[in-house]
Amino acid sequence: AARAHLQKIDAVVREALRKAGVRLDEVDLIGVTGGPGLIGALLVGVCWAKATAYALGKPLVRVHHMEAHLFGPCLEDPEAEPPFVGLLVSGGHTLLLFAEAWGRYELLGQTRDDAAGEAFDKVAKLLGLPYPGGPRLEEAARSGDPVRHRLPRPMLHGGQGPGDAAYYDFSFSGLKTAVVELVGRLGGAGAIDDEIPHVAAAFQEAAVDVLASKVMRAVEQTGCSRVLIGGGVSANGRLQEELQDRLGTEGRLFRASPRLSLDNGAMVARAARFRYDRGEIAAPEASAAADFAFPGLTRRSA
């Protein structure tokens, strides 16, 4: 991944500038993802950004990847502003938070093992679906029966209430294992072509049920019926449909189009502008960090 980043970063930047109709020396500042993620790939971006910022005399701002996902919906909808309950679901992270304001976030829950996107991708691979797994699984599920096979809803009934972390936390490893066992009972991955849509639908329904249920717990606890979703899994149509149904006419669901739900530079630029306006400019020695702390995020107290 790091080698691919290194090989392509110059060409990607040139193409982005061409499409935007600006020269590199015309940009106001350089924003870059500082983490979390794969350290090799992160370092390529940070080193390029630092060198460019230094050469052009531009300010450099490091951005947290998951905070950037929060800004995706507001690039298309000016009303996508705090306060809101935020669900960030990607291949590497699953976070449930309450945003009182930009930069002030309470962590309500998070995954204790696999991220939601990782589970989607691994189940898709198990079923022999092509890359990218998540969207392909959603496509397969459209022609499947979600109740033909019953799968568990991990941690759906966990916790003793809002004061217990398990009330909001997620776990997807058990659901993934349940799919592996189901496929085995059906005859194995190479012998279930007719069942693939049904297994995909059952898995998707279980994952969506857990995600939506935890979001609605947060809505009830915070009293905020404004929900914002970000990250690659937020592009899942079944998740969007279920959240909108549960929120009803009194609630509001903010989501980005698929191009701004997946990883993209626009959300990083928007997050960088927010941090820059707060005076948060990276020091010359700033680097990438695989465990880069989410700025302004605190654990909700009991």
> DSSP string covering 224-263, please?
--EEEEESGGGG-HHHHHHHHHHHTTTSEEE---HHHHSS
Interval 86-130: pLDDT, tens: 999 999 999 999 999 999 999 999 999 999 999 999 999 999 999
**pLDDT at site 54:** 96
Asked if 219 and 235 touch (Cβ cutoff 8 Å), the reply is no
For residue 93, give the nearest of 74, 72, 110 by alpha carbon. Answer: 110
Q: How far, in Å, CA of 31 to CA of 24, rounded?
A: 13
- Give residue-wise pLDDT tens across range 27-39: 999 999 999 999 9
Quote the pTM value: 0.95
Above 90 in pLDDT, residue 206? yes
Is the CB of residue 207 less than 8 Å from the CB of residue 119?
yes
Confidence of residue 302 (pLDDT cuts 50, 70, 90): low
Half-sphere exposure in the Cβ direction for 13 (13 Å, CA): 17
**Strand pairing class (94-101; 84-89):** antiparallel
Radius of gyration for the chain, computed over Cα atoms and rounded to the nearest angstrom: 20
Say if CB 241 and CB 98 are below 8 A apart: no
Axis crossing angle, helix 173-185 with helix 116-126, rounded to the nearest 10? 10
Q: Please give the class, per CATH, of domain 2-68+262-299.
A: alpha beta
Task: Report the run of H or E that residue 208 belongs to, with start and end.
Answer: helix 196-222
Residue 207, H or E segment: helix 196-222
What the block records as the tokens of 50 is 């630092």
Structure tokens given for 56: 């052009």
DSSP at 148: S
CA distances from 60 to 35, 48, 149, 261, 264 (A): 15, 11, 51, 24, 18
H or E element, residue 212: helix 196-222
Q: How far apart are CA 144 and CA 201, in angstroms?
A: 5
Query: How far is 94 from 88, CA to CA, in rounded Å?
Result: 6
Model pLDDT, residue 163: 76
With cut-offs at 50, 70 and 90, classify the pLDDT of residue 189.
confident
pLDDT at 9: 97
Total residues belonging to the chain: 302
CATH T-level topology, domain 81-255: Nucleotidyltransferase; domain 5 (3.30.420)
3-state secondary structure of 288: coil
Could you tell me where in the chain the CATH 3.30.420.40 domains are found? 2-68+262-299, 81-255
pLDDT at 299: 86
